[in-house]
Amino acid sequence: MKKVFIRTFGCQMNEYDSERMYALIKDEYILCAEPKEADLILINTCSVRKKAEEKVYGLVGRLKHLKKARPEVIIGVCGCVAQQEGDKIIKRLPHVDMVLGPQAVYRLKEALDSVRQGKGPVVDVELRKEFRQPLIFPSLNGTAPVKAFVTIMQGCDNFCSYCVVPYTRGREISRPPEEILAEVECLVRQGVREVMLLGQNVNSYGRKEKNFPTFAELLREVAKIPGLWRVRFTTSHPKDLTLDLMRAIAEIPEVCEHLHLPVQAGSNRVLKAMNRGYTREEYLEKVKRLREFCPEITLTTDIIVGFPGETEEDFEETLSLLETVRFAEIFSFKYSDRPFARATQFENKVPEEEKARRLKKVHELQEKITREINESFIGKEVEVLVEGKSASSQEMWAGRTRSHHVVNFKGPENLKGKLVRVFIEDCGRHSLRGKFVRDLCKNAEISVASTNTGDPFLFFGTKNENES
Ligand code: SAH
Ligand code: SF4
Ligand code: F3S
């Protein structure tokens, strides 16, 4: 067998695409841990912030010597930077053999054949009009993970003024519901217990297609699949969060009480310049309604600091929004100019040091809120889906609550893939700690498919390299 090295940057959609790329070639290649051992090197790239893109150029640049020593090695740059740069990548880095945009990764085998036949570099950055990803049933060979991603749509039509994604992933296209259901069923048959449905804006699922279900209807269908215990989804756009979806989250037992709802900024002036399509008041009203439907819901968000023209007062409004909503966790970023994005042309750019100062303030405030929320779990019992041994200690099990909090705990053997109750005794910055109370699977008489004891499938031993 030949060897492939895969490195993935960016969001979960890229992780999903990398898994699919590997599934396409796994009869021919096994995974390896170092580029120097590989016959094929695939770098699945992210372009959402400048730093992510720079990392890719650094990494691919360093592969030049390897290609010189072993010219038969095939190097592919895939994903969002590939789409954005196209054949400029080959000009700048002539040792690259393939440039495949996110919609072309499913053509990996054809691209490889072409390179092997000596036809020169392949650049495929065509943006298609339909969801053309072939249905690749993942075969997990008895090593099913506890949870898995399933892409339900690609692209984005929102054109937030800072964002490159509509240019790298193309227009929003929903995947046919039959395909989604077939893929989830296949995963569950093999032992997967939790799925995360993926898209840049999942709650506008199906809107552009004829006779497609709404996202809330899709959730209901997915949740009916026997053996699937938990359903999550990301990302939801606040402007498309309907009452219907709030009701679905509250009513469907399998849908976990956690919503990632990126707000980006707290000031209406900035939100308008970002082209987000909602005001601060509308966002807060939706949060209020959601909490009425589902009082125990946990919210997380994304924040950008230092958007062009963001004043100190605007920034203070972001801080006050964080205090008002009290998100359990946030992902915060310094604004960065991106190719094609409108905000790149905006005036009044905020200096780098000021962006850094604002980011630090956001971190400090959020750390306090996260700690308070984590502490509120102490003394309570929670339901945990056990994903495996804890990263920090083989003595401890690790899993997540329905609210998406990480829990580490001591317990009996063979808990992987089980739903258990855990009593929370303590907490750290990013996780809760507790002790095993009981195995819910036995009580509920649910049979757990013989999942694995071996290596976690997610993610084939390759690591996601999100820079933030
Ligand atoms: N579709 C999702 C997320 C897309 S990218 C959404 O609409 O929320 C993930 C996050 O990266 C964004 O939520 C935003 O906070 C951040 N981001 C995107 N472009 C950025 C830029 N140019 N500079 C800084 N952060 C950015
Ligand atoms: Fe980017 Fe906005 Fe689309 Fe999210 S919704 S991917 S931030 S354009
Ligand atoms: Fe995802 Fe990065 Fe592309 S966040 S959509 S891999 S630009």
Selected from 3.40.309.10, 3.30.540.10, 1.10.4030.10, 2.40.50.140, the CATH number assigned to the domain covering 381-439 reads 2.40.50.140
Any idea which residue has 């730093």 for tokens? 51
pLDDT given for residue 52 in this prediction? 83
Q: Indicate if 381-439 has the same CATH topology as 2-130.
A: no
φ and ψ of 448, to 5 deg: -90, 125
DSSP-derived pairing of the beta strands 381-389 and 419-427:
antiparallel
pLDDT given for residue 131 in this prediction? 74
Domains of the chain, residue spans: 2-130, 147-375, 381-439
Best substitution site from 8, 13, 105 to test ligand 3's pocket, by max atoms within 8 Å of Cβ? 13
**DSSP states of 207-267:** TTSTTPPPHHHHHHHHHTSTT--EEEEE---GGG--HHHHHHHHH-TTB-SEEE---B-S-
Whether the per-residue pLDDT at 457 is higher than 90: the answer is no
3 C-alpha to ligand 3 centroid (Å)? 26
Whether the per-residue pLDDT at 466 is higher than 50: the answer is no
pLDDT given for residue 141 in this prediction? 63
User: Which tokens hold the place of 62?
Assistant: 């360093």
CA distances from 442 to 26, 169, 329, 395, 445 (A): 36, 44, 33, 23, 5
Closest atom of ligand 3 to 200 CA is 5
pLDDT given for residue 277 in this prediction? 98
| pLDDT tens-digit series, residues 115-174 | 999 999 999 999 887 776 666 666 666 677 899 999 999 999 999 999 999 999 999 999
Strand runs (DSSP E) across 257-297, as ranges? Answer: 258-260
CA 419 from centroid of its chain's CA atoms: 23
Whether the per-residue pLDDT at 112 is higher than 50: the answer is yes
Mean pLDDT confidence for 6-16: 94
Of 354, 466, 377, which is closest to residue 423 (Cα–Cα)?
377
d(CA 99, CA 111): 9
d(CA 295, CA 150): 27
d(CA 42, CA 452): 28
pLDDT given for residue 135 in this prediction? 66
pLDDT given for residue 136 in this prediction? 66
| pLDDT tens-digit series, residues 166-189 | 999 999 999 999 999 999 998 998
Mean pLDDT confidence for 269-280: 98
Of 407, 429, 431, 428, which is closest to residue 419 (Cα–Cα)?
407
Strand partners, 173: 154
Q: What is the dihedral of CA 110, 52, 148, 36, to 10 degrees?
A: 60
d(CA 95, CA 353): 37
Confidence of residue 53 (pLDDT cuts 50, 70, 90): confident
d(CA 110, CA 21): 12
Task: Label each residue of 354-403 as H, E or C.
Answer: HHHHHHHHHHHHHHHHHHHHHHCCCCCEEEEEEEEECCCCCCCEEEECCC
Ligand 1 atom 12: the closest Cα is on which residue? 302
d(CA 369, CA 181): 38
Whether the per-residue pLDDT at 454 is higher than 90: the answer is no
CA distances from 146 to 5, 11, 26, 384, 450 (A): 24, 20, 21, 12, 11
Mean pLDDT confidence for 254-274: 98
| pLDDT tens-digit series, residues 418-446 | 999 999 999 998 899 999 999 987 544 44
pTM for this one? 0.93
Whether the per-residue pLDDT at 400 is higher than 80: the answer is yes
Pocket around ligand 2: residues whose beta carbon is below 6 Å from it?
156, 158-160, 163, 165-166, 200-201, 237
Mean pLDDT confidence for 267-272: 98
Mean pLDDT confidence for 211-226: 97
CA 223 from centroid of its chain's CA atoms: 20
**Rounded to 5°, angle at Cα 12 from 179 and 242:** 70
Confidence of residue 459 (pLDDT cuts 50, 70, 90): very low
Strand partners, 385: 400, 419
Is 167 a pocket residue for ligand 1 (Cβ < 6 Å)?
A: no
106 C-alpha to ligand 2 centroid (Å)? 23
80 C-alpha to ligand 3 centroid (Å)? 6
Ligand 1 atom 19: the closest Cα is on which residue? 163
| pLDDT tens-digit series, residues 14-37 | 999 998 899 899 899 999 999 999
d(CA 341, CA 345): 8
Burial class, 128, CB count within 10 angstroms (exposed 0-12 / middle 13-18 / buried 19+): middle
Whether the per-residue pLDDT at 373 is higher than 50: the answer is yes
Is the distance from CB of 464 to CB of 8 less than 8 angstroms? yes
Mean pLDDT confidence for 371-393: 95
d(CA 48, CA 44): 13
Q: Which of 24-28, 97-101, 344-348, 451-455 has the lowest mean pLDDT?
A: 451-455
User: Which tokens hold the place of 140?
Assistant: 């997990």
CATH of segment(s) 147-375: 3.80.30.20
Any idea which residue has 């010189």 for tokens? 68
Is the distance from CB of 462 to CB of 78 less than 8 angstroms? no
Selected from 3.40.50.12160, 2.60.40.2890, 3.30.1330.10, 2.40.37.10, the CATH number assigned to the domain covering 2-130 reads 3.40.50.12160
DSSP-derived pairing of the beta strands 397-400 and 29-31:
unpaired
Q: Which amino acid is at 191?
A: G
Whether the per-residue pLDDT at 75 is higher than 50: the answer is yes
Provide the 10 A C-beta neighbour count for residue 364. 10
Confidence of residue 278 (pLDDT cuts 50, 70, 90): very high
pLDDT mean across residues, the chain: 91
Ligand 2 atom 1: the closest Cα is on which residue? 163
pLDDT given for residue 467 in this prediction? 40
Per-residue buried b or exposed e for 403-412, using 16+ beta carbons within 10 Å of the residue's own CB: bbbbbbbebe
Mean pLDDT confidence for 324-348: 97
